[in-house]
Amino acid sequence: MILTREEEDMLNGVYGDGLRRAMKIIVGLGKIENASRLIDVKSAHISGVSYSNIGDEGLEFLEELASLNVKVRVPTTLNPCGIDLAKWRLMGVDDEYYSKQVKVIKAYEALGVKATCTCTPYLHDNVPMRGDHIAWSESSAVIYANTFIKAYTNKESGISALASALTGKTAYYGLHDDEKRKPEIAVRARFKVRGALEFSVLGYFTGRVSEARIPLILGAHPRTIPEKKQFSAGLSASGSVGMALFKWGEELETIDFDRDMFKSIINDLSVEDDFNILFLGCPHLCLEEIEEIARVVKGRRIVRGREVWLCTSRSIYTQAFNKGLIKIVEEAGLKVFVDTCLIVSPLKPIQVIGTNAVKTAHYIRSMHKANVKIAEAIALLRGVLE
């Protein structure tokens, strides 16, 4: 690998120990595919923010790095943390957890990272342009950025995205290289796939069958932001790859996705029982979704004993608030949280969670040992209204 003088100096500690450590990670990853050089990145997005996930070990790692006086060199945003930083008491979180979570956020801020705490940075907080080279983690955002914005990022880990943020660099390999952004397997939809849930399952199925190969999707194309988000999140949960394609000139080995397969995936993950909490906002809700929810619940109330959690980013919340939508949904008894989501929060045992996202179902079943009921968001919501 040929490094510039500045990159070499970073690696040798001329700019201090923080940049030396970060550069060591970048160069180490470049060796995976014998990258010949490093390139500049325009932005970074970091996962690994919830104290539930990174623990004291991650917190110490970040605090030590922050003590070395390094700062990010490119605009850098954060994934959701374990709590709503303002309404955390409403979530039933204790003081100790809160103080640990705030330490994690403070360490990131000391490194110059913007504590946006959202898994949908591409909606408002950190929007890449077509063709931009970026270093993002959060698997669903990586797929969204590569597939629907046509930016260039590998599926970075939270740690390698942070290393790129500090150095402003990534190795030129993998999905940064047009030659590597080619599909090796096709999935053909055999029915008209429409709506967020169906695209969520299509993504999940595709991740399973494509193994580590970039998939080409035939016969279906997500049009709306919710459909694109859900397709990305489904693919990210079961799969390994960082992108999908919808058009390609060549014939490929093709696997069919039909209605029976759709139903069997839902049946495998979902239970028939009624749910205790309905969680909508995986990935974080966009404005259109909050508008639709507000239309459905306006002037009505949710049934006593049921809870509905909506999760979104602080910036989308502000937009929704200014349109009067937050008032409508809160008057109906729904809870709106920002900065967090149900998957990465420290939940008390909940028996059944309602969701429209296969990604939520996938992680909740193993991480929180809860059961899930999967259906379209609005159908689930109508089921809890008086």
Could you say whether residue 76 binds another protein (CB under 8 A)? no
With CB under 8 A as the contact rule, the residue among 133, 228, 314, 362 that binds another protein is 362
Could you say whether residue 64 binds another protein (CB under 8 A)? no
My answer on whether omega of the bond before 215 falls inside 30° of 0, hence cis, is no
Cα separation, 358 vs 235, in Å, equals 9
Nearest distance from residue 162's CB to another protein, in Å? 10
With CB under 8 A as the contact rule, the residue among 10, 93, 151, 237 that binds another protein is 237
**Residue 172 burial (CB count, 10 A):** 17
Could you say whether residue 355 binds another protein (CB under 8 A)? no
Taking only Cα atoms into account, the Rg of the chain, rounded to an integer number of angstroms, comes to: 21
Nearest distance from residue 139's CB to another protein, in Å? 5
Print the binding letters for residues 190-209 with another protein: x by CB under 8 A, - otherwise. -----------------x--
Which of helix, strand or coil describes residue 290? helix
If the CB atoms of residues 80 and 333 are measured against another protein, the closer one turns out to be: 80
- List, in sequence order, the alpha helices (H) in 211-258: 225-238
**Residue 67 burial (CB count, 10 A):** 12
Cα separation, 176 vs 142, in Å, equals 12
DSSP assigned state of 146: I
DSSP letter for each residue of 90-116: GGT--HHHHHHHHHHHHHHHHTT-B--
Could you say whether residue 158 binds another protein (CB under 8 A)? yes
Could you say whether residue 286 binds another protein (CB under 8 A)? no
CB of 19 closer than 8 Å to CB of 25: no
Nearest distance from residue 363's CB to another protein, in Å? 5
With CB under 8 A as the contact rule, the residue among 156, 198, 227, 339 that binds another protein is 156
Nearest distance from residue 299's CB to another protein, in Å? 39
Could you say whether residue 264 binds another protein (CB under 8 A)? no
Nearest distance from residue 240's CB to another protein, in Å? 5
Cα separation, 108 vs 51, in Å, equals 12
Task: Show the tokens assigned to 335.
Answer: 């809870």
Q: Give 218's strand partners.
A: 188
Could you say whether residue 289 binds another protein (CB under 8 A)? no
Could you say whether residue 365 binds another protein (CB under 8 A)? yes
With CB under 8 A as the contact rule, the residue among 128, 168, 203, 239 that binds another protein is 239
Q: Give 353's strand partners.
A: 277, 372
Could you say whether residue 180 binds another protein (CB under 8 A)? no
Segment 8 to 47, residues that bind another protein, using CB under 8 A = 24-25, 28-29, 31-32, 47
- Cα angle 102-105-108, degrees, rounded to a multiple of 5: 150
Question: What residues make contact with another protein under the rule CB under 8 A?
Answer: 24-25, 28-29, 31-32, 47-48, 53-55, 57-58, 61, 137-139, 142, 154-161, 163, 174, 207, 211-212, 236-240, 242, 362-363, 365-367
